[in-house]
Amino acid sequence: MADLKYAFYTGCSAKGVAPELYESTKLVAEKLGMELIELDAASCCGAGAVQEKDEFLALTINARNLALAEELGLDLLTICNTCTVMLRETKFKLDNDPELKKAVNEVLAEAGLEYKGTSEVTHFLWEIIDGVGLDTLRAMVIRPLKEFNIAPFYGCHIIRPPYLIGYEDPDNPKSLEMVIEALGGNPTDHEAKLACCGFHSFWSAEDKVTLRLTAYDANSAKEAQADFMVTPCPLCHTQLDAMQEEAEERIGIQIGMPVLHLPQLIGLAIGFKPHELGLQKHIITPEKVINAFS
Amino acid sequence: METFKLRVFRYDPTKDTEPYYKTYELPVEKGMTVLAALFKAKEEQDPSISFRYNCRAAICGSCAVRINGHAALACKVQITHLLKKYETDTITVEPIGNVRPLKDLIYDMDWLIDKMKKVKPWFIPKEAPPADGKEYRQSPEDHNKIDFASDCILCASCMSDCNALKVNKDFLGPMVHSKAYRFAADTRDGAKRERLEAVLEDLNLEWCVRCWECTTRCPKEVQPYENIIRLRIMAAEEGFKTPGEIHAEIFEQDILNRGLLNEMLLPMRQEGILGAIKRAPFGIKMMFKGKVNYADFFGGHKIRRLEEIKVIYEKAKEKEKEINIKLPQIMGVIYEDKRKTAKRKNFAESGGNE
């Protein structure tokens, strides 16, 4: 097995409202032979918010985050789509603009740091495929997810924009389906597979946009007769799981669609119990899954 | 002879109660575009198919349609590429999304024009024309800021796939906000404030969900999403106090004071005490499920080496005024090339897309 050692960038959500993502990632990564060195000095990526107020500051803060991974000589591994796109955007801008890189490094130098551009930014989902490998994953499946219809929900920032992400075709991505299949599950195609969860306009357009999207997405999986959704992004998860009841209420429909984090899905198939993976922490309890695995 | 199926959205309100799809079998020809395929079906099989087109060279913006679910110019996309991309023998062509179909692939454009009027998409000079009788001038650096936004051909591909528009037709939409940016950011334009007020009416500019669909769809690299963000930056600079601006301040303060966002205290700081009361039932539900980190109510965890952030913050604030962050297009972004840079060896081998 290749050297699967990563600088682990947790992001805020895994340390905040999605503790089950942090816990399940650690458990699953260890079992799959991935060594995660947590960047406990890394800061928030700005999530697009800081970028809208103070672009240079956001770039510099993220250049520091990238420099921390470079200190370890490792690629930076994320577990959040928005962290992924923000860090990759920083890298893109600095690597393509020597003047900007110089200016950022002048600031970083004050703190004894330097951004070189030597670490890649990668996502847990991609490393399951490119690092661990699907054959290895398949071989580690103890409990195939064969009775489940699983609706993939990519989340925007792991496929768009292609000039920053570029892992796969944003119009026809397959990575999530490939992982679901490797775990023995049935990927369920649905209308909202590539849609937006609405998270990022919550504080400005909760009723006008966000909850309408949330309801649309969860309902799309329901109409496709999925047992649950799976997402590689904690922001999508918070929106689709924690805010689903609010969305049901505002729109006036019943949905009740459970949503799993990607590491939880993998964890179930490779032998962890639902409570070890924190499935009981979800607002929409995935009862069918918990019962099947308990 | 290799063939493929062209599945076309059909609707004639004078005859049909519901839209339907009709499939035409056509030969796969090298270099054939979707528009050419539509012509072939119309000329050889069914003269009643209606669609808009003009230049056939991705310049006029008339032929935007939805192809297998995603907006594109029919004249710019080739059949052989699509068959490979979607690993299928069927190409589905529909009118662009978020519009009212009039007949087949032709849709009602009035609502787009009505939206556009709200941002006055024309030049409003700041001052009288130069006394020397020449044109209004600006530096190449200033022109670069609006150059790409000026390339919009109004094809509405971005409007088609916009997630916010999908659920709320009142959203002005990426094409319109992007056009507002093109003029608001023009150093020769005198209506910046008025334009910002127009896009911030009912805070519409902040309905954008940052899904980046518009930029992904745009056939001309206008980058509507990036222009929306630049408009928001301009609004912040002009002193507009919006929820987005408050949100950004919270993030900035948390990065400075603890490194990570404090999600537990966010609602209170975003919406004040009344907001916190409104969110209380949600908070209790989260507590009950073990999703709440109690320590965060009292400041909570700080990242290591926080002192570096403070130094960086001070210095970055000092330096930012002299920095000109270039647009991605200026850096020579070519989408197709960039897609190939990611490491993807195993991915392709295990059956992923090209």
Amino acid at B264: M
Is-contact A7 A39, C-beta < 8 A?
A: yes
CB of A15 closer than 8 Å to CB of A83: no
Q: Does the pLDDT at position B23 exceed 70?
A: yes
Residue B217 has pLDDT above 50, yes or no: yes
How are the residues of chain B apportioned to helix, strand and coil, as percentages rounded to the nearest 5?
Answer: 45, 10, 45
Predicted local confidence at residue B350, as pLDDT: 43
Average of pLDDT values for A136-154?
Answer: 98
> What are the structural domains of chain A?
5-123 (1.20.1050.140), 134-293 (3.40.50.11810)
Q: Which residues fall within 8 angstroms of residue B15, CB to CB, at 6 or more apart?
A: none
**pLDDT for position B352:** 41
Nearest CA in chain B to A94: B325
Kindly report the average pLDDT of chain A as a whole number. Answer: 97
Closest CB to A16 among B251, B263, B308:
B263
Give the closest of B246, B291, B333 to A17, CB-based: B291
d(CA A268, CA A185): 11
Find residues 213-272 of chain A whose CB sits inside 8 Å of chain B: 213, 216, 242, 245-246
Amino acid at B107: Y
Task: Yes or no: say if A263 and A124 are a contact pair by the CB < 8 Å rule.
Answer: yes
CA distance B274 to A175: 43
What's residue B227's pLDDT?
A: 95
Are the C-beta atoms of residues B115 and B199 closer than 8 Å to each other?
A: no
Contact, A8 vs A36, CB < 8 A?
yes
Which pLDDT score, from 0 to 100, does residue B332 have? 55
* C-alpha angle A132-A133-A134 in degrees, rounded to nearest 5: 130
Interface membership of A204 toward B (CB under 8 Å): yes
Closest CA to B341 of A249, A96, A25: A96
In chain A, residues 53-72 whose CB comes closer than 8 Å to chain B: 53-57, 59-61, 64
Suggest the residue from B168, B247, B301 to mutate for an interface test with chain A (most A CBs closer than 10 A): B247
- pLDDT tens-digit profile of A43-72? 999 999 999 989 999 999 999 999 999 999
pLDDT score recorded for residue A216: 98
Contacts of B166 (CB under 8 A, 6+ apart): A195, A213, A216, B97, B98
Tell me the backbone φ, ψ of residue A77, rounded to 5 degrees. -105, 125
* Cα(A14)–Cα(B263) distance, integer angstroms: 11
Average pLDDT for residues A221-249, to the nearest whole number?
Answer: 98
Quote the mean pLDDT of chain B. 91
pLDDT digit string, tens, across residues A154-175? 999 999 999 999 999 999 999 9
> Is B209 in contact with A201 (Cβ distance < 8 A)?
yes
Interface membership of B241 toward A (CB under 8 Å): no
Query: Which residues partner with B73 through β-bridges?
Result: B64
Confidence of residue B340 (pLDDT cuts 50, 70, 90): very low
Task: Please give the CATH number for the structural domain made up of B110-240.
Answer: 1.10.1060.10
> What's the helix, strand, coil split of chain A in %, to 5?
50, 10, 40
In angstroms, the separation between the Cα of residue B175 and the nearest Cα of chain A is 17
Local structure of residue B95 (DSSP, 8 states): P
For B215, nearest residue in chain A (alpha carbons): A161
Print burial letters for A24-53: b (CB count within 10 Å at least 16), e (below 16): bbbbbbeebebebeebebbbbbbbbbbbbb
Residue B169 CB: number of other CB atoms within 10 A? 13
pLDDT in tens, B264-294: 899 999 999 988 899 999 999 999 999 988 8
Write the CATH number of the domain with boundaries B3-107: 3.10.20.30
pLDDT tens for B300-323 read: 889 999 999 999 999 999 998 888
Q: Which of A273, A206, A262 is nearest to A29 (CA)?
A: A262
Say whether B255 and A46 touch across the interface (CB within 8 A): yes
Which residues in chain B are classed under CATH 1.10.1060.10?
Answer: 110-240
Chain A residues closer than 8 Å to B285 by CB? 242, 245, 283
The first and second tokens of residue B162, run together, are: 């916009």
Using pLDDT thresholds of 50, 70 and 90, give the confidence band for residue B140. confident
Which of A18, A54, A172 is the closest to B320 by Cβ?
A: A54
Of B302, B323, B248, whose CA–CA distance to A107 is shortest?
Answer: B323
DSSP A117: S
- How big is the A-B interface in CB pairs under 8 Å? 285
CA distance B184 to B172: 16
Where do you find CATH 3.10.20.30 in chain B?
A: 3-107
pTM of the entire predicted model: 0.95
Full DSSP string of A226-285: -SEEEES-HHHHIIIIITHHHHHHHHT------EEEHHHHHHHHTT--TTTTTGGGSSS-
pLDDT value for B331: 64
Distance from CA of A93 to the nearest CA of B (A): 7
Q: Of all residues in chain A, what percent carry a pLDDT higher than 70?
A: 99
State the pLDDT at residue B325. Answer: 84
**What dihedral do alpha carbons A20, A26, A32, A34 form, nearest 10°?**
140
Flag if B207 and A175 touch (Cβ within 8 Å).
Answer: no
Among A55, A113, A201, beta carbon nearest to B308? A113
Query: Residue A266 pLDDT > 60, yes or no?
Result: yes
Task: Name residue, tokens 């589905």.
Answer: B92
Region of residue A73 (phi > 0: left; psi between -120 and 50: alpha; otherwise: beta): left
Among B212, B342, B351, beta carbon nearest to A167: B342
Least confident of A223-232, B8-17, B18-27, B139-148: B139-148
On whether the CB atoms of residues A43 and A65 are closer than 8 A, the answer is: yes
Facing residue for A15 by CB, picked from B85, B229, B260: B260
pLDDT of residue B327: 76
Residues of B in contact with A281 (CB under 8 A): 289-291
Q: Is the pLDDT of residue A192 over 90?
A: yes
